Amino acid sequence: MAIYFDETNLRSDMVGASDGVSAADIRRTTGKALAGLKNFRSLCDEGRYGFPALPFDETTCRAIQRYAAEVRGSYDTVCLIGIGGSALGAWALDCGLRGPHPVQGEYSKDFPRLVILDNVDPVFVGSALESMNPSRTLSLVVAKSGSTAETISTFLIVRDWMEEKLGKKTNQRIVAVTSEKRGDLKALATEEGYQTFHLPDNVGGRFSVLSAVGLVPAALIGIDIRKLLKGAAAITNLSWSKDITTNMALRAAMLNYLLWTRKGKSIQVAFPYSNRLWGTALWFRQLWAESLGKARTRKGELVNVGQTPVAALGTTDQHSQVQLYMEGPRDKAFRFWSVAKPSMPARIPRVHTGFEAFDYLSGHSLAKLIEAERRSTQAALTENHRPNCNFVLDRIDEEHLGAFLQLMEFETAFMGELLDINAFDQEGVELGKKFTFALMGRKGYEEYAERFARYEEKRAAGVECACGHAHHHAPAAKKRR
């Protein structure tokens, strides 16, 4: 397994002192980074955070493999119902290891399709159901809390759709992944006898791809989960190293911390030059946003920190985003992801058309072109004082992807340490969820229903603007009292 981190273009020698990190910056911050590593290690040793231990959980790996072997051949579609950290990891694995959507190849019982229902868009869910056959579908409901409105509602629809066709046999075609000791999904799964897997309480959703949350769907679609864990274990060992020159996660965290807090780079662009890593980019976007966007430090000081993650795809987004990246505000740090040995080179035929735009490409390969485009984009950004780095994966296979995902989880955790924030909670999403519960009539959320009504009244009353007129937001909501 080989992953390299090329940080050269993050350095001030390459992009200038105002935009890059100097050797002196690194010397001054190394102690802080190592202290963060030590603190995070002791929090993990105390059992507060569990993702670093996941690659070593043999028992779970074996149980999942056993179950996957038992049911193999009885379905051609796995329908995963989950959202956020309960869906994005599976998508990253599917896209990375079985090919980008929608060009994965014909699905069958030997090559089951993974359909991920992670949105309550009624047309999306309705169309997905129309595209599946309940007799050949294994449904997988994933929710750590066991109560996420989107997941529960979609699950009820899918279960009903299965029951219409399968009747009592439905329960044998449903798998649940949830917390072991709490939550209504756990209670229902026990009552109905669903095959159930658990994730440890000390593993949060966005850090759960190597727990049952990601491993169950992966095993069900034929991914070798043992190899995923092997790669992740190697990176875990490396990430505990106190040698900041070789500990890629710690080093990347420190450099990005400096770019963010000292050089004003408030946006982090993940730029994979591989469609197979596109799912990983969307997974990373959640990991970085939810973990590092926080109101307060661990001591309670109000800081409102956050580096906005953006996902861009190379070369596609060179024709969509790069104009902004080159000439817009100097507020971005870039992380390119490239693959040294793509599985298909895609040769460009040898032709002599006599036309300049065609003939220079003759006999090359798309692998060479995409690499040239990535290197050129990095060079252009560097000339324009835009700090950028590159993570090179030797190839994309189970071992490399498992390692890469774990590497980013460690980097995120170390960044949380450097910023002195809790990277593992997500208080910020709670209020919106509570309003939704209130609007959907859930018991115990009456206070939020009233608060929402006050908000709507305020909107209906209109807001006074600088011109002195009250502007009403259309359509004005009906007064409730």
Give the residue numbers annotated as catalytic, written as ranges.
Answer: 290, 319, 433
Give the rounded distance of the alpha carbon of 424 from its chain centre. 14
By CB under 6 A, residue 416 contacts ligand PA5? no
The packing angle between helices 225-239 and 212-220, to 10°, is: 150
243-250: Cβ within 8 A, 24+ apart? 244/30, 244/33, 244/34, 247/37, 248/3, 248/5, 248/407, 248/411, 249/407, 249/408, 249/410, 249/411, 249/414, 250/33, 250/34, 250/36, 250/37, 250/410, 250/411, 250/414
- Among 53, 146, 61, 118, residue whose Cα is nearest residue 413: 53
Q: Write the interaction track for ligand PA5 spanning residues 131-150; mark x where CB under 6 A is met and - where it is not.
A: ------------xxx--x--
Structure tokens belonging to residue 20? 């890059």
By CB under 6 A, residue 84 contacts ligand PA5? yes
By CB under 6 A, residue 200 contacts ligand PA5? no
By CB under 6 A, residue 86 contacts ligand PA5? yes
Q: Which parts of 190-242 are beta strand (E)?
A: 195-199
Nearer to ligand PA5, 205 or 214 (CB): 205
Nearer to ligand PA5, 53 or 322 (CB): 53
250, 66 contact by CB (below 8 A):
no
Nearer to ligand PA5, 20 or 82 (CB): 82
Q: Which of 173, 206, 276, 332 binds ligand PA5 (CB under 6 A)?
A: 206
Nearer to ligand PA5, 83 or 255 (CB): 83
By CB under 6 A, residue 89 contacts ligand PA5? no
Q: Minimum distance between the CB of residue 151 and ligand PA5, rounded to whole angstroms?
A: 5
By CB under 6 A, residue 50 contacts ligand PA5? no
Give the rounded distance of the alpha carbon of 267 from its chain centre. 16
Residue 219 sits at the vertex; the CA angle it makes with 217 and 224, to the nearest 5 degrees, is 135
By CB under 6 A, residue 8 contacts ligand PA5? no
Distance CA 470, CA 455 (A): 16
Window 252 to 291, contacts with ligand PA5 (CB under 6 A): 290
For 100, the 3-state DSSP assignment is: coil
Q: Which of 55, 96, 205, 416 binds ligand PA5 (CB under 6 A)?
A: 205
Q: Minimum distance between the CB of residue 140 and ligand PA5, rounded to whole angstroms?
A: 13
336, 274 contact by CB (below 8 A):
no
Judged by CB under 6 A, the number of residues near ligand PA5 is 14
In the complex, which residue's CB is closest to ligand PA5?
Answer: 205
Q: Which of 12, 29, 77, 151 binds ligand PA5 (CB under 6 A)?
A: 151
Distance CA 409, CA 38 (A): 16
Q: Which of 426, 434, 445, 448 binds ligand PA5 (CB under 6 A)?
A: 426
Which residues would be at the binding site for ligand PA5 (CB under 6 A)?
A: 83-86, 143-145, 148, 151, 204-206, 290, 426
